[in-house]
Structure 1
Amino acid sequence: MNNPGWGASAEGGGLPPQPRCVRHPDRPTLLSCTRCGRPFCTECLQPASVGHQCVDCVAQGHRSVPTARTVAGAPVRTDRPTPIVTYVLLALNVLVFAITAMQSGSVLNNERSSQLFVDWGLYPPYIVYGGEYVRLLGSGFLHFGLMHLAVNMFALWIIGRDTEIVLGRLRYLGVYLVSILGGSTAVMFLQTEALTAGASGAVFGLLGAQTVILLRLRRSPTPVLVVIALNVFISLTIPGISLAGHLGGLAAGAAATAAFLYGPQLLGAGRDRDRIVRTGWVAFGVVTAVTLALVTLSVLQPSV
């Protein structure tokens, strides 16, 4: 019994040839994709909710699924996102402090004999008459002593991580920098003879950002407002703290965040996700332009 009815003799006996895998033509297969119906081998098929799908259909399905986004329009990359920008900002502040401490030879009085502190400290006359505009942002990375640094970095670590996750990395960085600029602008108007520095303006800006975020999510902002009120009280009662810088940063951070969260609605972006994202950046650009205009006005103020 040499021929039981299958094998090579059966194939030559008029049976139709087996289909070949679309991606591997040398492989016969009896399997097919439940979505497109084309034949594929086991290597090219992946389990699906119903049956198996080929790698091409799986990839197409992934592209058709809309990207999950936060209330600010930032893409949600993972279930446990890493606030990279916050960690980088923490590192930059610590690095700048280390440089000033090495230059001055002191951790407690690092502002003395530090060339970087001399070049970046926010002293309005140097900006008005010397055009040293780097001080407007550079001062936001300087700190008077280790305690000043520790308080601000702790606040940034607590507040910044959640804010970054909601806003997304680029929006968060934009709000942070505009908050520094807003704090510097307020100092230019209200403390024209004071030397100020610190990330406090940016931290207050993030507090303003969190307030706007909570309002957008229809949650009570009371806890954040209590923290803001407590810090304003401390700024009023302890000498040497720049209340103007804090309030300027608070206003700029809140306005910049509102541009992202409420700007698209006010500018009629509709429900198109891409248009909402673009319009949010346009609104943020308007807030930034207004802040820069106020900076210019503060510089021109003595001559007006």
Structure 2
Amino acid sequence: MAQPYGQPPQPAGLPRCYRHGDRETGIRCTRCERPICPSCMISAAVGYQCPDCVHGAQAAARATRPRTLAGGTVTADSRLVTKILLGINLAVFVAVLVGGDRLVEDLGMLGHAIDPATFTWVGVADGQWYRMLTAAFLHQQIWHIAFNMMALWFLGPPLEAALGRVRFVALYLISALAGSALFYVVAPQNQLSLGASGAIFGLFGATAVLARRMRYDMRPILGLLLVNLLITFVWSGIAWEAHIGGLVAGALVTLGLVHAPRERRTLVQVGTCVLVLAVIAVACVLRTTELLNA
């Protein structure tokens, strides 16, 4: 067949898929117009698109999706995690009422004690590390759980909305662990602690840091925190160690969450949480070594 002068020869047959050079196709991507074979065709509102265009559109959508102050995903229900935590605490409280003190004895925060029945060590020093977290969901007195859950209901949603769900869960659990850790390091033998107070004080510390970051009036939160600290040290029977440990950890974690630079936000945030967890772990290991060698 004659070819016009100066024009390159035209290949015979249909064009070939840009991803699979051995496959001829008559379909083109509606966005970039590159030829695509049936294996690469992805249905779109109009026609078909190639995998590169679809992935590019998804990445652009993720980049423009609204984010919280700390980089979390904005959700329709900013109280979901708070409601779940409330539900867990209330469910465990009902279980304690039904099952009696045995559940508290088995899951409460007990650093080191001697079981009077077997004369053997029990508690975290004996390897029962789970107590550091399970104790944060245990309550016996109605006033105790009522105060903690009321504080959780008021402090939780604003923090959940500002941090995002995953970061809020990390804040809550790390604060609870830090409260248990300080109790373990300081509290004497045969002393039992329970309650969400360590986590709640972590939320107090987080709220103070967030208010400072947003340049809100600090006086209300500082006044409320001062009142709770006075109650902590004046009211007998309160494990002040859990309150202070949770408060410090909550403030430190939130500092990392809300002040992380945008370019390395996730790295800094994860690093902050890991660093606080590492301090908790080292403190507990050192305390365990001290007790076992005593």
* TM, length-normalised to structure 2: 0.73
> Which segment drifts farther, 172-181 or 188-197?
188-197
CA deviations on 1:113-147 (whole Å, 9 max, x unpaired) are x3211111112113354211111111111112222
Contact 1:256–1:288 (Cα < 8 Å) also in 2? no
Gaps of 5+ in 1: 1-32, 37-43, 46-55, 105-113, 266-270
Report the equivalent of 1:243. 240
Q: Are residues 75 and 120 of structure 1, via their aligned partners in 2, closer, same or farther at CA, if it must alter by over 3 Å?
A: same
Shift, 1:201, TM fit? 0.7
Partners of 1:247 and 1:260 in 2: CA distance: 20
Report the equivalent of 1:178. 174
* Count of paired positions: 236
Please point out which of 202, 221, 226 is paired with 1:224. 221
Contact 1:201–1:246 (Cα < 8 Å) also in 2? yes
SS in 2 for 1:70: coil
Contact 1:260–1:280 (Cα < 8 Å) also in 2? yes
Contact 1:143–1:197 (Cα < 8 Å) also in 2? yes
Contact 1:123–1:195 (Cα < 8 Å) also in 2? yes
Q: Are residues 259 and 100 of structure 1, via their aligned partners in 2, closer, same or farther at CA, if it must alter by over 3 Å?
A: same
Report the equivalent of 1:71. 69
Report the equivalent of 1:203. 200
SS in 1 for 2:193: coil
Contact 1:139–1:198 (Cα < 8 Å) also in 2? yes
Letter in 1 for 2:164: G
| 2:294 equivalent to 1:294 | no
Report the equivalent of 2:105. 118
Contact 1:127–1:299 (Cα < 8 Å) also in 2? no
Letter in 2 for 1:171: R
Aligned-pair RMSD on alpha carbons? Answer: 2.6
Q: Are residues 88 and 60 of structure 1, via their aligned partners in 2, closer, same or farther at CA, if it must alter by over 3 Å?
A: closer
Partners of 1:169 and 1:241 in 2: CA distance: 30
Report the equivalent of 1:50. none
Partners of 2:78 and 2:201 in 1: CA distance: 22
Q: Are residues 234 and 69 of structure 1, via their aligned partners in 2, closer, same or farther at CA, if it must alter by over 3 Å?
A: same
Shift, 1:218, TM fit? 2.4
SS in 2 for 1:75: coil
SS in 2 for 1:69: coil
Please point out which of 143, 146, 152 is paired with 2:148. 152
Superposed counterparts of 1:275-286, under 5 Å: 275-286=264-275
Report the equivalent of 1:139. 135
* TM, length-normalised to structure 1: 0.70
Contact 1:123–1:192 (Cα < 8 Å) also in 2? no
Letter in 2 for 1:239: S
Report the equivalent of 2:38. none
Q: Are residues 140 and 62 of structure 1, via their aligned partners in 2, closer, same or farther at CA, if it must alter by over 3 Å?
A: same
Report the equivalent of 1:48. none
Partners of 2:111 and 2:133 in 1: CA distance: 13
Superposed counterparts of 1:187-198, under 5 Å: 187-193=183-189, 194-198=191-195
CA deviations on 1:234-281 (whole Å, 9 max, x unpaired) are 11221111111111110111111112123x34xxxxx43xx3223321
Contact 2:110–2:124 (Cα < 8 Å) also in 1? no
Partners of 2:60 and 2:269 in 1: CA distance: 26
Report the equivalent of 2:165. 169
SS in 1 for 2:216: coil
Report the equivalent of 1:12. none
Partners of 1:133 and 1:176 in 2: CA distance: 18
Shift, 1:210, TM fit? 0.8
Letter in 2 for 1:97: F
Report the equivalent of 1:18. none
Shift, 1:61, TM fit? 10
> Which segment drifts farther, 128-137 or 170-179?
128-137
Q: Are residues 299 and 64 of structure 1, via their aligned partners in 2, closer, same or farther at CA, if it must alter by over 3 Å?
A: closer
SS in 2 for 1:151: helix
